[in-house]
Structure 1
C-alpha cells in the first residue's frame, strides 16, 4: 500500500518542462501523502515524464524500491496496492525470459506490460492503481483495479497531465486555482459522495474502476477494460455453495501474503466474522472492533466471536467526544467529501489497529456480490402489485402524490414507481426535494445539471437483461461500492498508514458470484442466503443468521442536542451560501428536533460539505499542512 504520482508534459515546448521543475512538483506531491507511505520515497524524472512514490513496506520490505525500471531502463513503474497472484505471474514471466530484480509483487506489473502492453491488466488479480512511463514510445499508461479498491485521480490541460493517489497532491501542483465542480456537488447531495469520474474539484477526475488511461503526445484517452456483469445461471445449490467456500478460502489465503503483521476488522456481521474465522484457522491473529455508547452497541457480539475464535482482541467504545474530535482529520484525509457517518468509525478502528499491525482484512464487497442489503428484498415485497399495467401505476401514483398520509401509502408509492425512478444505490439523500436545498449558484446552473436518476440509467441499461435485484446489484457495484464503501475504506485506513485488504473483492470470487440465481441470494427471510450456507460451519451460530446492521451511529440523537447547534453554526459560517439554501437546512433542523421526521442524514450531508468547503476551499493554504 503506497501513494503514486505522475506528471507528463503534453507540450514539449512548455515553459515548465525542465526536469528540475518536474522533480520539485513531484516531491511536493509526495509530501502530501507521507501517511500513505511513511517507509520510503522515490522519484524518477526525464525531459517529458516523471514518477513519484511513497512506500508502505509490505512485501520484500528491504527491497522493491520504487519507481521500478525494466532491464534496460526504458520503462518505469509506480504501483499502489497488492498483486495477489504475483508468485504465479513471476514464474510465468521468468519462463518467458524476463529478469526480475526484486522479490516484490509490483515488479510483475512492469514485466507484464513489456509482454502484453496495455492488456497487462487482464492478468492481474489484486487491488492496484499504477502508472507506467514508457520512454521508448513516450507513453504514460495508468490503470485502476477492477473494483476500484485503490484510488486514481488525474487532471490535464493543453500543457501537462498530472496523476495521483490523492486529490491533495494534485491540488498542491497549482495551489489556490481550483473551483467547485457544480455537477459533482449536485450528485453529492443525492448520493452522499461524488460518483466517478467526477470529483468535487472542477477539472480533476477519478479514473473509474476497471478503466485505464493512455497518454501519448497531446492525446489523453480513457477506456474501460472490465465491467461487473451479473448473469444468473441455474445450477445445483449445494455444489455452488461448495464452490463459493473453496474460492473464499483461497482468496483469504492469498490476501494473507505479507512480510509484516496482519490482523482483521471484526464486526457483528457475517462477512468480517467469516474472514476472521478463516484467518484464525491459519494463524494466530489480532481482531479489532468498535461500537458506540447506547442500546445499539454491538461490541458484545464481536467480543463473543473473538473469544470463540481465540483472537487477540481489541475494542473501542467510541464516545460522542471521540467521534467529533476525529472528524476534522477525517475530512482532511477523505479528499472528496463522503457523508457516510461510519467513515469516522472506520477511521478510529484503523487508528487502533495501526498500533498492532500494518495490514488488516475486512469484509467489504460481500453485500454487493452476494445480495446482502435489505433493500434487495424490496422487489419481492412489492410483487403483489406487479400485475398492474404501467398506465394504471402512473395514475395511482399521481393520486397518491396528492393525498394525505395514511397507513400503506409509502408501500403503494414504491410499488407504483419503477425501480429506475426510486433506486440510485444504498444512499438516497436529496432527490425529489433537492431544489429546496440549492443555493443561487446551483439553481442558476440547474438546467445544465444531470440528476442522480439520469446518471444511474447507464447501469440499468447494462443490466437490462436481469431482474430487479440484479439491476440493484449492478447499480451498487458501479456507484455505491467505489464511491462510498471503498473510498472511505482506503482513505480512513491509509490516514493511519494501514493497508486494508478486501478478500471478497477478488476476480475469482466475482466469477462465482456473478452467476448465482437471485433466489439463492435474497428471499423474504434473509439476504446473502447461499453465502451464509457456504460459511455455516465457519461462522459461529450467534452470528450466521444475524441481519446486516452496519455501524449504528447515533447521529440523529446527537443532532437533537448541543451538537446540532454546533453543526448548524458551522454550516452558517462556512461560506457555502452560494451553493446551499441555509434557511432550508435550518428548517430541517427544526423539524428534526420537533420529531416531525428524521432528517439527520440530510443535515449531516450538508454539514460534511460545509466542513470540506472550509478545508479545501476557504483554507486552501492550510490544506497543504498535514493534520494529526
Structure 2
C-alpha cells in the first residue's frame, strides 16, 4: 500500500528533473511513511511512498525485472499473489516476496492481459523500456484512485490530485463540468475531478502511453446475462463460501490487522468470518455520537458491542461530539475534492483511532451495493404495488400530500416520512429519471439555477441508460459500481484511511464475489422486499436475528441535526450571501431557500448544505491557498 506518482513524455525525447518526484512524493508522504523510491530514465519518471504491509524488508519500490527492462510502482495489494507466484516461477525469477512483483511476471508473459489474472485492489504504473511504453491501470471496482493530467509535452499521474498540483506551472482552478456534476450528485464522478485539467482514470480501465499517443481501454465489466435458477439454499451456500474465501484471502498481512465494526450486517459478517480464520482475537473498532436525540438515532454502539462479545474480539470504541467539524479543512485537504457525505468524517475518526493498534483494516463497504442493502433498491418492488392504485388518487391526492410532509433523517418517524415523500414524488417518472431522483442532491433544474446555465445529465442517468443489465436491481447496481461506489464511498474510504497511514481492504468487492452475485435473480436477492435477503440467509447460522434484521443505518454523522443546532453558526460562516456572491461560482436565491426549508424541517437538505459548505471550504484550501489550520481556527471560533 502506498501512493504512486510520476510523469511520462508525450513529446519525445524528454528528461524530467528528479525534484519533480520529490515534490509529488512530499505531498503524499502520509500514504507511505515507511519508505520512498524513484526511477528516472529517458521519457519517464516514476515515484512512490510506501506503507509496508507485505515483505517489509524486501518490498521496496520501484521494482524491476531481472534485466531492468520493466519497472513498476503500485498502490494496493494483490491478494492472489502466492498462487500467481507458484504458476509463474517456471518463467520468471522472483527477487522479492512482495505481492506486486507478480505484476511484472504477468506482464512479461501476457502483456496488458496481465490485468485479467489479478485479484486485488490496485492502481499501478508499469514502464516497458523496450517498447518505451507506460501502462497505467486501475482495479476492477475502483478501490484505488488514479489521477491524470495532460500537460504540454507530458502526462502526469498520481494517487492524489494534489501531488499533480505540486508540479511547476500547474494552478488549481475549478472544472466547470465537475462542478455541474458535483451539485447534482454530491461528489465528482469520473472521469472528472474538481480540478480543471486533472481527470480520474475510470474503473476497470487501463491507459497505454507511447510514441503513438494515449489509448484508454476497459478490461472488465460484470456479465449480467448469465442468471442462474438455483434454490435459495444453493445461492446462500455459494455466497457464504465465496465471501469467506474473500475474507480469508484479504487477511494476508505481515503487520497487525483489524476490522471496522458498526454492528450492521456487512461489517458483522466480515468480523464473524475473520474470527473463524484468525489465530487470536480480532481487533475491532466502532464509533458513536454524543449530544441529542439525533446522535442516539445514529448511534450503533450497542449492536457493535453485541457482535464483539459474540466473537470475542478486542473491541474499542470512540465517541464523537459536534466539535469534530473543526477537522473538516484537514479532511477536505486529504480528500482532494469536496463531498456531500458525512461518512468521510466518521471514516477518518475511526481510522485514526484504529491506527494506534493496527496497520491494516477490513471494512464492509460494498455489501449494500452488491446484495441490495439500500432502500432505493426497493423502489421497483413497491412501485408495482403503488401503481395499482387509481391514477387520479396518485396524482390528485397522494402527490400533493407528499409535498407537504416534513422531511428529516434524524429520527425514525421523520426519516420514514422523508423516504415516503421521495418515493411518491418520483413514482411517475421513467426508470432512469426515477433512479437519478433517488440519488441526486440538487436536481438538474436546481443546479441550472445555481449556475445560471444549462447543464448536461448527471452521470447517474447516463450510466443507467447505457447499462446492459436487464433486471432493475442489477441495472441500479451497475450504475452504482461506475459512479457512487468508486467516486464517493471508495474514494472517501481510501483517502480517509490513508490520511492516517492505515490500509483498508473491502472483501465484499472481490471481483469473484461480484461475478457470482450478478448471476442471482433479483427476486431472490431481496425476496418479498427484504433488503439483502440472500446475504442474510447465508449468514443466518453465524449472526443473530437482532443483527440480521435490525433497521438500516448509514455510516455517517448526524450532520443535518448538528447544522440546525450546535453547528448552525459554522454553516452560516461558509454559506451566506456575501461569501457565495464574492466567490462567483453560484447564485444565492436558491441557496437562501434551501437554508430556510432545512431549518423549518419542510425539507431535509443535509446533503445540499453539506455540499455547499464543503465546496466553500475546499475553495479556501485550494483556490485561496489558506491552510487547513487557519480555516479550522475560524471554525472553532464560531462554535
2:318 is aligned to: 316
2:385 is aligned to: 384
Q: What displacement does 1:412 show?
A: 4.9
After superposition, the C-alpha distances for 1:313-332 in whole angstroms (9 at most, x for unaligned) are: 110111111x2122121111
Aligned partners of 1:211 and 1:222 also within 8 Å: yes
SS of the equivalent of 2:603 reads coil
After superposition, the C-alpha distances for 1:41-84 in whole angstroms (9 at most, x for unaligned) are: 00000121110010000000011110001110111000110001
Aligned partners of 1:145 and 1:209 also within 8 Å: yes
For the residues of structure 1 that align with 2:357 and 2:597, how far apart are their CA atoms? 45
After superposition, the C-alpha distances for 1:581-613 in whole angstroms (9 at most, x for unaligned) are: 234323322232233322222111100111111
Q: What displacement does 1:339 show?
A: 1.4
Q: How does 1:36-47 map to 2 (within 5 A)?
A: 36-47=31-42
For the residues of structure 1 that align with 2:207 and 2:475, how far apart are their CA atoms? 28
After superposition, the C-alpha distances for 1:226-284 in whole angstroms (9 at most, x for unaligned) are: 12343432212211111111111111110000000000000120110011111112222
2:622 is aligned to: 616
1:495 is aligned to: 499
1:362 is aligned to: 363
Q: What displacement does 1:575 show?
A: 7.0
Aligned partners of 2:574 and 2:616 also within 8 Å: yes
After superposition, the C-alpha distances for 1:78-128 in whole angstroms (9 at most, x for unaligned) are: 011000100011111112x20010001000001111111111100000000
For the residues of structure 2 that align with 1:460 and 1:233, how far apart are their CA atoms? 24
After superposition, the C-alpha distances for 1:464-523 in whole angstroms (9 at most, x for unaligned) are: x52222221111111111011101100000000000000110021112111011111113
Aligned partners of 2:286 and 2:318 also within 8 Å: yes
Q: How does 1:473-622 map to 2 (within 5 A)?
A: 473-551=477-555, 553-572=557-576, 573=579, 577-619=583-625, 622=627
Confirm or deny that 1:461 pairs with 2:463. no
For the residues of structure 1 that align with 2:246 and 2:7, how far apart are their CA atoms? 35
1:243 aligned to which of 233, 238, 242: 238
Deviation larger for 72-81 or 580-589: 580-589
Change in CA separation of 1:624 and 1:591 when aligned onto 2, cut-off 3 Å? closer
TM superposition score normalised by structure 1: 0.92
Change in CA separation of 1:216 and 1:273 when aligned onto 2, cut-off 3 Å? same
SS of the equivalent of 1:382 reads helix
Q: How does 1:286-325 map to 2 (within 5 A)?
A: 286-293=283-290, 294-296=295-297, 297-321=299-323, 323-325=324-326
For the residues of structure 2 that align with 1:272 and 1:404, how far apart are their CA atoms? 35
Change in CA separation of 1:399 and 1:457 when aligned onto 2, cut-off 3 Å? farther
TM superposition score normalised by structure 2: 0.90
Confirm or deny that 1:275 pairs with 2:287. no
After superposition, the C-alpha distances for 1:533-585 in whole angstroms (9 at most, x for unaligned) are: 11111223321222321135222221222522222222343776321123432
1:451 aligned to which of 432, 454, 457: 457
Q: What displacement does 1:203 show?
A: 1.2
For the residues of structure 2 that align with 1:581 and 1:597, how far apart are their CA atoms? 20
Unmatched 5+ stretches in structure 2: 406-419, 634-639
For the residues of structure 2 that align with 1:167 and 1:455, how far apart are their CA atoms? 23
Change in CA separation of 1:406 and 1:37 when aligned onto 2, cut-off 3 Å? closer
For the residues of structure 2 that align with 1:50 and 1:593, how far apart are their CA atoms? 52
Q: What displacement does 1:30 show?
A: 0.7
1:65 is aligned to: 60
2:353 is aligned to: 352
For the residues of structure 2 that align with 1:479 and 1:410, how far apart are their CA atoms? 21
Aligned partners of 2:28 and 2:160 also within 8 Å: yes
For the residues of structure 1 that align with 2:254 and 2:445, how far apart are their CA atoms? 52
SS of the equivalent of 2:501 reads coil
Change in CA separation of 1:608 and 1:524 when aligned onto 2, cut-off 3 Å? farther
SS of the equivalent of 2:623 reads helix
1:220 is aligned to: 214
Aligned partners of 2:283 and 2:313 also within 8 Å: yes
Confirm or deny that 1:434 pairs with 2:446. yes
Aligned partners of 1:290 and 1:345 also within 8 Å: yes
Aligned partners of 2:580 and 2:587 also within 8 Å: no
For the residues of structure 2 that align with 1:623 and 1:266, how far apart are their CA atoms? 30
For the residues of structure 2 that align with 1:560 and 1:550, how far apart are their CA atoms? 20
Change in CA separation of 1:556 and 1:624 when aligned onto 2, cut-off 3 Å? closer
SS of the equivalent of 1:422 reads helix
Change in CA separation of 1:562 and 1:263 when aligned onto 2, cut-off 3 Å? closer
